């Protein structure tokens, strides 16, 4: 195969309405993670535009895009990426502290979120003391810390067993029901099938779209 | 930010401790070199000023190793004393003498002769200075070493035989009466020193008809300043070499203390470079190992500036902590090095190689902080240029 | 005759030489440059600090003075005269003995090993002489013995700091290889085998590092000497890396490197394979 730039996403036009629960699935290398990174303002498209609530993100500087990610978008990663030297509660407090929330408010919100994800009693445990599923739930709590309007999850069940993965999707359903727009990237069709709107990608394009 | 940086460092406590200890070790050496770079000057200046004389007059350049004597010292003293810029002048002559030790073996001592003046270049610890009008019983003061060595007390007799020239001479012995103990600023720790009047020193040395001195110590008049006295002396007696204490220090800075200045500069540079290298390596490895985590923080909304400052904060904490620990270490090391260097012959006991000045603390802190910033530069650059999406992707793939 | 305390350079003259050709002298390169003299110039020298009774001498050449580390930084303004000329210049007319006095007599023996015996015999024949073997240490060496100790103390501090740095590097290196060690243990390699591997790697790194350090020191030696020789206008050699010094450096560095490697790996080797593999 000749070396050179790889076109990860091509000819793609997508609109996601507030309150939707969308899954993006496809085989490995189809561009779904790249699409998610673009949606999350982590990556910028080589061509085309990303509009977040009507604003063209491409015209914004790094600080402004960071501000969007901090307060309007929540990110959940396949490998959790919890900070190992912080407890579960401290991990959830971290984005709030970065957003300038006062300490009392942070602590209340953190306790609320950990209860929400069912880990109220594990607040002072470090990530190394948590199971994979528990760590991912803490990561979800962290992603919800600043009340984002959009939650993005990149293969959130990739490191988890089937049963735990289903529990995590159940948590996403609950988050969606509470009014947050959720977009999940997954290669697991069983998980994608639980979302109201499913986009199948292949070779950088949206190949098929299904709704239920 | 500081708490976060501290927690990040605490993740690898072994590395952090080693980083702090490494900076402490080189910081201690750096601190000592900063003390050394000015220690001799500060100490030497203090020594020169200690007796209250701020100008020195000699027969040749101050840096000439074998200095000729100042002929016609009496007329020189009179000429200088008459200057309005001058408060006081005392001629000094140096010689040697022998006496019998307690065990009967000959003991060599340094003998100082001072002309009449209101001030003298010694500090009386006990008793009184020799009286020029003592008459038949010439008087002598001795330093502590000599007094202890011979068990001398005030009023006791001491017989001296002159040993002033470069050839052996058989001058008649002179009986002195000890009138007191004094400290002489330029005595080395083992020195055996005695002082008497100029006339008595000449008698001991067998040069009663002589009119020479080794040096004239001059005190400038208050309000005039030493340079005014120096200019006046140079104008009145251009054949003599007059130097203010400041000028003497400056000349020795170029010649006598040059080695210590150079070694101080070289070692300071090496320690700073070493500290820079250690912290840069530690932080770079740490950042390399945390790329995914940093990318995740960026994805969560941390700004580039925020993650860069985290790296800088870690550097400042490591270097700052190491710097604090380095100060007591530096003081201890300085004492050890001072003890080693004081074994050099003819170094006055009151001289300090590592004289403390508060400015050394400021310079030390400033150099370390600059090192902290420079050491963090490369890892900060790595963090600043980290591609978030590509890093996240790589982390998943690997 | 007492020491010649000052040879005062009174004046130079490039005019026609006086009727009797003045005696020849050599002046140091530094004096030549400082006083803007040239070979062939006639100068007046006086032993009197006030310049009394000067005598003319012709500069026959220049020389590089033997560098004296005890007077580093002091310009070597000196001249060399034939002994009779110096004696004639500096003798005290009132002292007949001064015309036949010198400060020291240097003796080169046919066989150096005979120096102690020679000194004993000479002392017996001419009592009152101060005899010193040039190879023997004397008080003037004390300063350099002290400086040697000072340098050693500094070297010890830098070795300590370097060891800490080395340990930090080894700790980081070991940390990065944690997974590899876990895999090796899991597939059945014994601790001893891995320890020998660590030891061998530590030896190679330490040896390579020590040799590199020696090469670097030799490479910098020339630069240091040239710089300070220029700075102090002297021919003194400031830095010399001898085989003994190089051997000593390697002998200190290699064990330290091996020790650092082993110390850094110790915790890793003591852990069980499963706990190593757990992230």
Provide, rounded to the nearest whole percent, the portion of chain C with pLDDT above 90: 23
User: CB distance B392–A86 less than 8 Å?
Assistant: no
Query: Is B7 in the A-facing interface, judged by CB distances under 8 Å?
Result: yes
Which of residues B104 and A174 earns the better pLDDT score?
A: A174
Q: What is the CATH architecture of A21-83+147-211?
A: 3-Layer(aba) Sandwich (3.40)
User: CB distance B25–C168 less than 8 Å?
Assistant: no
Report domain extents, chain A.
Answer: 21-83+147-211
User: How many CB pairs lie under 8 A apart between chains B and C?
Assistant: 103
pLDDT band at C278 (very low <50, low <70, confident <90, very high): low
Mean pLDDT of C35-56: 87
Report domain extents, chain C.
Answer: 8-103, 105-136, 139-277
pLDDT of res. B37: 85
Res B326 pLDDT > 90: yes
Distance CA C128, CA C235 (A): 36
β-pairing verdict for B106-114 and B193-197: parallel
User: CB distance B29–C49 less than 8 Å?
Assistant: no
Q: Is C59 exposed, middle or buried (0-12, 13-18, 19+ CB in 10 A)?
A: buried
Chain C residues close to B71, C-beta within 8 Å: 50
pLDDT of res. A119: 92
Res B347 pLDDT > 50: yes
Residue A212, min C-alpha distance to chain B (Å): 31
ipTM exceeding cut-off 0.95 for this assembly: no
Chain B residues close to A154, C-beta within 8 Å: 392, 396
Partners for B (CB, 8 Å, 3+ pairs)? A, C
Quote the pTM value: 0.79
Chain C residues close to B340, C-beta within 8 Å: 146, 149-150, 153
pLDDT band at A43 (very low <50, low <70, confident <90, very high): confident
pLDDT of res. C5: 35
pLDDT band at B183 (very low <50, low <70, confident <90, very high): very high
Query: Is B392 in the A-facing interface, judged by CB distances under 8 Å?
Result: yes
pLDDT of res. B260: 84
User: CB distance A69–B304 less than 8 Å?
Assistant: no
Res C1 pLDDT > 50: no
pLDDT of res. C273: 67
The beta-carbon neighbor of C153 closest among B281, B282, B337 is: B337
Which of residues B257 and C161 earns the better pLDDT score?
A: C161
What does the DSSP 8-state code read for residue B12? S
Chain B residues close to A156, C-beta within 8 Å: none
The 3-state DSSP class for residue A37 equals: helix
User: CB distance B292–A79 less than 8 Å?
Assistant: yes
pLDDT band at C137 (very low <50, low <70, confident <90, very high): low
β-pairing verdict for C42-46 and C8-13: antiparallel
Residue B375, min C-alpha distance to chain A (Å): 24
Backbone angles phi, psi at B21, to 5 degrees: -65, -40
pLDDT band at C14 (very low <50, low <70, confident <90, very high): very low
In what helix (H) or strand (E) does residue B367 lie, and over which residues does it extend? helix B358-384
Range B203-241 burial, b when 16+ CB lie within 10 A, else e:
bbbbbeeebbbbbbbbbbeeeeebebbbebbeebbeebb
Task: Check if the beta carbon of residue C17 is closer than 8 Å to that of residue C42.
Answer: yes
Res C169 pLDDT > 60: yes
Res C45 pLDDT > 70: yes
β-pairing verdict for A55-56 and A51-52: antiparallel
State pLDDT tens for residues A132-161.
999 999 999 999 999 999 999 999 988 888
In this structure, how many other beta carbons lie within 10 angstroms of the beta carbon of residue A33?
24
User: How many CB pairs lie under 8 A apart between chains A and B?
Assistant: 74
The beta-carbon neighbor of B389 closest among A42, A70, A158 is: A42
Nearest C-alpha in A relative to B301: A70
Partners for A (CB, 8 Å, 3+ pairs)? B
User: CB distance C165–B340 less than 8 Å?
Assistant: no
State pLDDT tens for residues A84-141.
888 999 999 999 998 899 999 999 999 999 999 999 999 999 998 999 999 999 999 9
The beta-carbon neighbor of C73 closest among B166, B239, B258 is: B258
């Amino acid at each position: 195969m000749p070396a050179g730039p790889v076109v990860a996403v091509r000819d793609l036009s997508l609109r996601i309405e507030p309150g939707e629960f969308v899954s993006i699935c496809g085989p490995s290398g189809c561009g779904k993670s790249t699409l998610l990174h673009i949606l999350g303002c982590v990556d910028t498209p080589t061509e085309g535009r990303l509009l977040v609530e009507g604003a063209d993100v491409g015209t914004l500087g790094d600080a402004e895009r960071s501000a969007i990610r901090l307060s309007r978008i929540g990110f959940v990663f396949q490998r959790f990426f919890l900070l190992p030297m912080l407890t579960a509660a401290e991990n959830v407090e971290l984005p709030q502290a970065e957003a300038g929330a006062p300490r009392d408010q942070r602590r209340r919100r953190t306790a609320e979120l950990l209860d929400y994800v069912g880990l109220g009693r594990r607040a002072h445990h470090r990530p190394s003391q948590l199971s994979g599923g528990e760590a991912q739930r803490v990561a979800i709590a962290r992603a919800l810390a600043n009340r984002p309007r959009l939650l993005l999850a990149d293969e959130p069940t990739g490191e988890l067993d089937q049963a735990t993965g289903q529990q995590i999707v159940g948590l996403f359903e609950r988050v969606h029901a509470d009014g947050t727009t959720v977009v999940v990237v997954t290669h697991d069709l069983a998980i994608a099938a639980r979302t109201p709107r499913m986009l199948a990608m292949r070779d950088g394009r949206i190949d098929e779209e299904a709704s239920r | 930010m500081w708490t976060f940086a501290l927690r990040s460092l605490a993740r690898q406590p072994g590395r952090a401790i080693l980083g702090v200890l490494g900076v402490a070790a080189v910081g201690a050496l750096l601190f000592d070199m900063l003390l050394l770079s000015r220690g001799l000057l500060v100490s030497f200046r203090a020594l020169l000023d200690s007796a209250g004389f701020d100008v020195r007059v000699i027969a040749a350049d101050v840096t000439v190793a074998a200095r000729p004597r100042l002929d016609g010292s009496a007329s020189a003293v009179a000429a200088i004393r008459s200057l309005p810029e001058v408060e006081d002048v005392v001629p000094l002559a140096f010689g040697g003498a022998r006496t019998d030790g307690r065990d009967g073996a000959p003991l060599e001592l340094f003998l100082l002769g001072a002309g009449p003046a209101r001030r003298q270049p010694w500090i009386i610890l006990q008793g009184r200075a020799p009286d020029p009008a003592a008459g038949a019983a010439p008087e002598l003061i001795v330093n502590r070493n000599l007094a202890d060595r011979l068990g001398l007390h005030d009023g006791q007799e001491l017989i001296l035989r002159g040993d002033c020239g470069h050839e052996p001479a058989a001058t008649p012995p002179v009986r002195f009466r000890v009138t007191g103990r004094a400290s002489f600023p330029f005595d080395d720790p083992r020195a055996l020193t005695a002082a008497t009047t100029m006339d008595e020193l000449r008698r001991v040395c067998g040069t009663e008809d002589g009119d020479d001195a080794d040096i004239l110590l001059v005190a400038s008049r208050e309000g005039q300043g030493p340079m005014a006295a120096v200019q006046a002396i140079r104008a009145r007696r251009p054949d003599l070499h007059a130097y203010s204490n400041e000028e003497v220090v400056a000349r020795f800075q170029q010649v006598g203390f040059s080695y210590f200045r150079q070694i101080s500069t070289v070692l300071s540079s090496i320690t700073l470079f070493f500290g820079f290298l250690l912290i840069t390596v530690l932080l770079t490895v740490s950042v390399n190992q945390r790329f995914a985590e940093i990318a995740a923080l960026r994805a969560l909304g941390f700004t580039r500036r925020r993650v860069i400052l985290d790296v800088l904060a870690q550097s400042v904490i490591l270097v700052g902590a190491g710097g604090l620990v380095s100060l007591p270490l530096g003081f201890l090391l300085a004492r050890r090095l001072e003890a080693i260097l004081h074994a050099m012959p003819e170094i006055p006991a009151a001289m300090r190689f590592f004289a403390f000045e508060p400015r050394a603390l400021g310079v030390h802190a400033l150099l370390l902080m600059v090192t902290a910033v420079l050491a963090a530069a490369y890892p900060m650059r790595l963090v600043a240029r980290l591609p978030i999406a590509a890093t996240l992707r790589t982390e998943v793939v690997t | 005759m007492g020491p010649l305390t000052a040879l005062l350079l009174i004046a130079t003259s490039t005019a026609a030489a006086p009727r009797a050709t003045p005696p020849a002298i050599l002046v140091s390169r530094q004096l030549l440059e400082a006083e803007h003299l040239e070979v062939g110039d006639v100068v007046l020298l006086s032993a009197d600090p006030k310049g009394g009774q000067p005598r003319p001498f012709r500069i026959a050449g220049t020389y590089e003075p033997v560098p004296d580390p005890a007077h580093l930084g002091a310009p070597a303004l000196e001249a060399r005269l034939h002994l009779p000329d110096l004696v004639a210049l500096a003798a005290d007319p009132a002292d007949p003995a001064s015309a036949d006095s010198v400060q020291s007599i240097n003796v080169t023996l046919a066989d150096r090993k005979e120096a102690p015996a020679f000194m004993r015999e000479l002392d017996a024949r001419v009592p009152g002489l101060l005899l010193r073997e040039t190879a023997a240490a004397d008080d003037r060496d004390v300063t350099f013995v002290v400086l040697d100790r000072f340098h050693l103390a500094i070297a010890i501090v830098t070795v300590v700091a370097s060891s800490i740095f080395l340990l930090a590097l080894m700790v980081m290196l070991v940390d990065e290889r944690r997974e590899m060690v876990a895999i090796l243990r899991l597939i059945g390699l014994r601790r001893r085998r891995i320890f020998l591997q660590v030891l061998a790697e530590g030896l190679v790194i330490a040896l390579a590092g020590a040799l590199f350090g020696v090469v670097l020191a030799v490479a910098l030696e020339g630069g240091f000497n040239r710089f300070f020789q220029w700075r102090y206008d002297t021919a003194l050699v400031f830095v010399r890396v001898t085989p003994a010094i190089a051997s000593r450096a390697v002998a200190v560095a290699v064990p330290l490197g091996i020790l650092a490697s082993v110390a850094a790996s110790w915790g890793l080797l003591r852990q069980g394979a499963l706990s190593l593999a757990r992230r």
